[in-house]
Each structure stands twice: as C-alpha cells, then as structure tokens.
Amino acid sequence: MRNLIKILFLSLGLIVSGVLFSAPALIKQNTRPLQAESNLDALDPWETPIASFFIRSHHGVPTMPEKWEIEIDGLVENPTKIDLSALQKMPQKSYYAVLECSGNGRGFQFPKVSGLQWEKGAVGNAEWTGVPLQEILKSVKLKPNAKFARIEGADLPALPTVPPFVRSIPIDKMMAPDTLLALKMNREPLPILHGGPVRLAVPHWYANNWIKWVRKITFMETEDAGFFMKKGYRMPKNPIRPGEKWDSATGVPITTLRVQSFILHPRGHEKVALGPMKVTGKTFSGTGTISKVEISTDQGKNWSLAKLEAPHAEGGWQEFEATIEFKKIGKKVVMSRATDTAGNVQPLVADWNPSGYLWNAVDKVPVHVVKKTSPKLIGESVAEEKCLTCHTQSLLSVQELSKEGWEKVLGKMESFGVNLTAEEKSALVDYFLKRDPQPKPIEVVDYSRENEIHETRREAHGDASHGEKLFATHCSSCHGEKAEGKIGPTLKGRHVPEGYFYEVVLKGIRAMPAFEDSLNREQAMDIRTYLLR
C-alpha cells in the first residue's frame, strides 16, 4: 500500500512537471538510432516513468508490419507461429524489474573506451506485464538436445554487411517463471521505442538480453555463432589491465546484473550547508536483494549504515536514505556501497575492460560544503521543499529572470496553491538571482509524440506504385533492386524520419548525391511511401 500511494503521488507530480511544464527527462547520446539516458530527476520516482525511461537499440526502430507474428522453430516437436492477438488473450503476469544497459557507467571508466558514454542514467525500474515463456514452450515441446534459444528482433542493420542483433538465452533461463514476452510497460501497451509490441523480459539480467521487437525464437543445441554472442557483450573471465590484449572468445557472455547503488541526492558538485544533510538513492542486484547500503564521507575509511527500504513484494530496486553531517567547509565526496544477500559487495574500483561493460564501483558524489548563513542556501532549501514538488531541477536551472520576473513567477505559484511566507519569497528570489551561473543543459530529447508518429507512419502520404518506379530509376543501383542494400545502406524495413529522409534525398549527404534537380518533394514522398510498404 505504501508503494501504491507513493506511485500515485509521484504520477501526479510527473503529470504536473512533465506535461504542464514540459520538463526534459532524457539526455540524448545519439540521434540515429536514438540513444538517450534518463537524467537524475527521472530516476527519483520509485517507478521510472515511460517518458523518462532510457532508450537503447542497435539498429533503430523497425517498420511495423500489419500483422505481428512470432515464429518458434528449431529443436521443437511442434513449430508454430503466434500472432499478437493470440498472445494478448493468454494468461499474463506482472512484476517490477530493473532494466539496465550493460554499458551504464561507461563514461566513468578510466582509461576511456569507445562506445556510448553513459553515466548513471541507462537504467530504470518499471512494471512489466506479459506472457510467461514457459507456458508457450509447453505446447511446442522442446527436444532433449535443445540447450539455447536464439532470439531475433525485427530491427535491421543499416548495411547488409553489418551483423543483426541476435542473442542466445540458455533454456533454464527461458523456462524461468518470470521470463516473459512482455506486452506492457507500467500498465501501458509496450511503446515502440521500448521494443513494442513485444519484447523479451529477462529479470535480473542486463538489457542486452531483453531483445526488442521479438519476431523469431529458434531452439538450438549451441549458442548462436554471430557477432553479438561470440564477440560482442562478453567479459573477461578474470580482470585485465588497461591496454592488455584480450581475445573475447575466451570470455563469458554478459548476463546477471552486478550489485549496485547510486546516489540521487545530493547531486554532483552541489553546494551543501554545514550540518545535517539527507542522502537518498537507489540500489539493486541480480544475485539477490540488497541486505545493506553504507555511506562514507571520508573516502571510504569509515562507513555508516543507511536506512534501507525492504524489497518490494513484486520486485524492482530498493531505496535507501541516510543523514550525514559535515562539520567543516570545503570539497567533500559522498559515497554509497551496497551489499546483496549473496554477499556481493560493490568494489571501490570497477574492473576495467576494453568495452566499458558492467561498471559497478561505489558511487562517488562530490559536493562543496559552505556556511549555512548564506541567504542563497536558505533560498535553496526553500526551493527544494516548495519548487521541486512539481518542477525538476533541470527546468529551474535554465531560467534567467530579473527580480521582477521571479516575483511574478512566485505570485503565479501562490495562485496555484503554494504557501510561501514573505521571508521564504525573499529568500527564493535572492537565491535565484545570486546562484552561480548554470551551465546550459546538454541536448535533451522529448519523445512524447514518438509512439504516435511511429504508429501512424503507414498512412498514405504518397503514391507507393509511383514511388517504386522512381526508386528503380534513381535509387536501386546503390541500394539494391528491393532496397536490400548494396553500395548504399539497407532501406527495406527501416524507418527513416520523414524530414530527415527528404533532406538527404534532395540535398545529399556524404557519398549520397543530391537529387533536388531530378526529384521534387512530392516524388520523394512517393519513394518513402513505397519503402514503408
């Protein structure tokens, strides 16, 4: 009941902050395909909202067919195809589970390695609802020599020479009660950007195994021999030194979540006052529930226990809270360290590896301790109590208003029901005017309409038949007769955003010539309509 009440209040707050005030929630790491991590404001709620949930895919969003089917074949007695409507009618179960990219934290690794430089935000806690795979597999009857399931999604590489993203899951994990073909996320139909209409849900394992847009499951005696099993997403069996040569074939596939904790308050490089201060954060593990979280303010020399929320009955991460006290001003570091029920403990230093996977070192948040007598800090305390109920820190940080402007904003807040004394209003205005210059936020993405855009992209914007002829004349020599990819990338089955498609076709990009002298926008629309169909 406590968590239900919490979710209801958080949902109301997110409606206010996310809809009325359009606070950004995702930090864009890459555009094509879209990769974006949650900012720290988005990770505050116990249940991570869908609009704030990190996005990671390998080949981008596939084109949605009119009828979605999942084929099950290989070492089974009864090969079959199951369509989406049949799945939706089957008995379903729901639970909370943490979904984390295996590259989360790569941005903290030193020496640096290539890849998306995720910090803390490629993780989230959501409710997943779907059909347990063990119920489906009973009807297909696995053969005795079936040891692995090869999972294929509908997303296609940009070039035919690029390997598809395919993973193999051991049979015992496929048959686990909580391994699902997930159809919902936080009680909503699974969004396309998160693998909808159906993705594999593998609780306690890293996200590279949660295959999106599932279209085919093939049972085999051995692991798939493709790139993403034999080379990608593998870890050394033993730690290696930076620069040391390593053959990925000698490693092991990335599966189980490592024990982790991360601090959400205070924020990194935040100014905090002398005296007591609250520390809050999240913690989780794939090898058990969390048994304790410890906090240190002296570089790990001494640790004190945090108050740890009991495991939620339906899974997901746990929350922790502690009160610490700074008695001297200056630069300090707040650290959190989690231990799970299997005895696994966060290390002070994470194992280095060439791909930057599985970062789980103790979280370290630098802060600057200053005197409490500053009116600015009084205002900051009031802002946390009165403003962050509805707004996020990222929204407040970009406001550059005059004294009159802030007074007008606070007047509006009072008209909405916020109770402010004259002293609090004065302290708030003083704080906002005197605070240090705020850095401009890095690029964020608002994809509140993305699912709507993807769902409606099959609408008839052009003449597909005419587009087929134009494609054969202008495009097939590079992209293949059936858009399967040749010199240029594969276009069949790929969704290219409309505006970007026209820009590339008419203006050209890199080796792609401009066609504005031979094609107009309407003709380009016909070509795109053909490709989408």
Q: Which position among 511, 514, 524, 525 bears the catalytic label? A: 511
Rounded CA-CA distance 356/353 in Å is 5
CA distances from 48 to 137, 365, 373 (A): 31, 22, 36
Cα diameter, the chain: 76
Q: Which residues have CB under 8 Å from 304's CB, separation 6+?
A: 294, 295, 296, 322, 324
Contact (Cβ atoms closer than 8 angstroms) between residue 347 and residue 261: no
How many Cβ atoms sit within 10 Å of the Cβ of residue 65?
11
Separation of alpha carbons 281 and 320, rounded Å: 5
Q: How far is CA 371 from the centre of its chain?
A: 38
- Give the active site residue among 176, 427, 512, 524: 512
Enter the tokens of residue 242. 């930076």
CA dist 22 and 14 (Å) reads 10
DSSP 3-state of 308? strand
Please confirm, yes or no, whether 220 is among the known catalytic residues: no
Told to judge if 511 belongs to the known catalytic residues of this protein, a careful annotator would answer: yes
* Residue among 368, 346, 366 at smallest CA distance from 358: 346
Query: For residue 221, what are the CA distances in angstroms to 166, 181, 249, 321?
Result: 16, 22, 18, 47
Count of beta carbons in the 10 Å neighbourhood of residue 481 = 11
What is the set of active-site residues? 511-512
